[in-house]
Structure 1
Amino acid sequence: MILYLHGFRSSPQSMKARLMGERMAGLGRSADYLCPQLPASPRLAMELALSLVDGVPAGELAVVGSSLGGYYATWLAERLGCRAVLLNPAIVPRQDLQKHVGVTTQYHSDAPFEFKPEYIDELRALDVARISQPGRYFLIAATGDEVLDYRDMVAHYQGARQHVIQGSDHGISEFADYIDEVLAFCGIGAGGPR
């Protein structure tokens, strides 16, 4: 089972989420792929995520998170003991997102998106100062990320499997090139679970 968590103001319509869904469908594993629309509230986002994977054994679960979704994926992996793949993850989003408090729209629609001041404290409650078992993590970080500094990611996930892409961007435009590597880490491939 893969739970994909999109980034800030993003959605299941993001390029990476769609590519993952298409690849899982191509493997006949659509039922093992979840990608919910996350609420703006970090607390509610994590309550939703936990409810979706309730009862799934940690060994059968992997969380893939992009940007803010990577921050969430880290918290979930620590709480549940599952694997996590982090795609240009946010490391200290409460600092980065302070300037985004207010009402705007989602990236993939005109739907309103309100990020309230109290969400900063909700983010703080999800901080993971240090990952406990680096072997459960796979970081994909791009040196060309225009939003977040890849060096912070590399330092935070020290000891984890890491793939540092020279160049690229925050969205990892060539993500299709890495899907099979991500799925293999999650225990899914053309031959099924490993």
Structure 2
Amino acid sequence: MVFYCYLHGFASSPNSAKARDLGDRFRAAGLSLVIPDLNQNDFAHLTLSRQIAQVEALLPPPPEPVVLIGSSLGGLTAAWLGDLQSDPCGNRHPQVQKLVLLAPAFGFLDHWLPRLGTEQVAQWQETGFLSVYHYGDQAMRPLHYGFVSDAVMYDHSTLKRPVPTLILHGIRDDVIPVQSSRDYAATRPWVTLLELDSDHALTDQQDAIWQAVQTFCEIDLELS
């Protein structure tokens, strides 16, 4: 049995449009899709490290195969989990067998911090917290600067484990430009990039996303 897991994006939730749509489609196919809440009731102290640890703790014991589907920061989390899986001796193993990344947040600090501006970033670092809009809560929420100091430790250019990966990215994405996924795929022959006529949310591409997931993950609806 394959363990399927969906990781929602930054400032989102398991109740997002993509999470609900994929959850419904997996259920209709007779499959279970685990959708953890990466906010952990403490969005203020969210970090990439915390997300990786949270999801890793959810994974079944080897050798049960795992497929991770992640959106934006959830996609980046999935990419790191696909690379960092190891046994107690530190040897990498192939438990995470496939990745589906939806507008993955490669280099997101390079895109986000300049938009905030030097002054606001400096104020964030000094005061400790920045107020950001949380789409899941539909309200402004504080986020600790530790989110940034943790993220700078992760250089996605070091991700080298050849996990079969499908990336879907909108060509009109103004949050994480599609070029970031183009650059990632260009040096990794195990990565397939599907460019869609959409924005970062990809909410108008739900049929295309499901078709791509179904084909890539070899989900046979007739046998479900």
User: Which TM bucket (shorter chain)?
Assistant: 0.7 to 0.9
Work out the CA distance in 2 between the residues paired with 1:141 and 1:118.
Answer: 28
The residue correspondences of 1:1-194 to structure 2 (distance < 5 A) are 1-30=3-32, 33-39=33-39, 40-57=46-63, 60-80=65-85, 81=94, 82=96, 83-98=98-113, 99=116, 102-110=130-138, 113-134=141-162, 136-158=164-186, 159=189, 160-165=191-196, 167-172=197-202, 173-191=204-222
CA displacement, residues 59-99 of structure 1 (integer Å, 9 cap, x when unaligned)? x2111111111111110111124211111111112334444
Work out the CA distance in 1 between the residues paired with 2:207 and 2:157.
Answer: 31
Work out the CA distance in 1 between the residues paired with 2:142 and 2:217.
Answer: 33
SS in 1 for 2:148: helix
Which amino acid in 2 is paired with 1:70?
A: G
Work out the CA distance in 2 between the residues paired with 1:120 and 1:79.
Answer: 21
Q: Alpha carbons of 1:110 and 1:56: their partners in 2 closer, same or farther (altered >3 Å)?
A: farther
Greater mean deviation of Cα atoms: 167-176 or 49-58: 49-58
Work out the CA distance in 2 between the residues paired with 1:42 and 1:5.
Answer: 12
Residue 20 of structure 1: CA displacement? Answer: 0.8
Residue 111 of structure 1: CA displacement? Answer: 6.3
Residue 113 of structure 1: CA displacement? Answer: 3.5
Q: Alpha carbons of 1:111 and 1:189: their partners in 2 closer, same or farther (altered >3 Å)?
A: farther
SS in 2 for 1:55: coil
Q: Which residue of 1 aligns with 2:91?
A: none
With normalisation by structure 2, the TM-score equals 0.75
CA displacement, residues 22-48 of structure 1 (integer Å, 9 cap, x when unaligned)? 001101112xx1111113222221111
* Greater gyration radius: 2
CA RMSD of aligned residues (A): 2.3
Work out the CA distance in 1 between the residues paired with 2:218 and 2:49.
Answer: 28
Work out the CA distance in 2 between the residues paired with 1:61 and 1:192.
Answer: 20
Q: Alpha carbons of 1:113 and 1:84: their partners in 2 closer, same or farther (altered >3 Å)?
A: farther
Greater mean deviation of Cα atoms: 36-45 or 6-15: 36-45
Residue 10 of structure 1: CA displacement? Answer: 0.6
With normalisation by structure 1, the TM-score equals 0.85
Work out the CA distance in 2 between the residues paired with 1:149 and 1:42.
Answer: 20
CA displacement, residues 138-192 of structure 1 (integer Å, 9 cap, x when unaligned)? 1111111121110111111222111111x21111122222203213323433155
Work out the CA distance in 2 between the residues paired with 1:116 and 1:162.
Answer: 33
SS in 2 for 1:139: strand
Work out the CA distance in 2 between the residues paired with 1:192 and 1:111.
Answer: 43
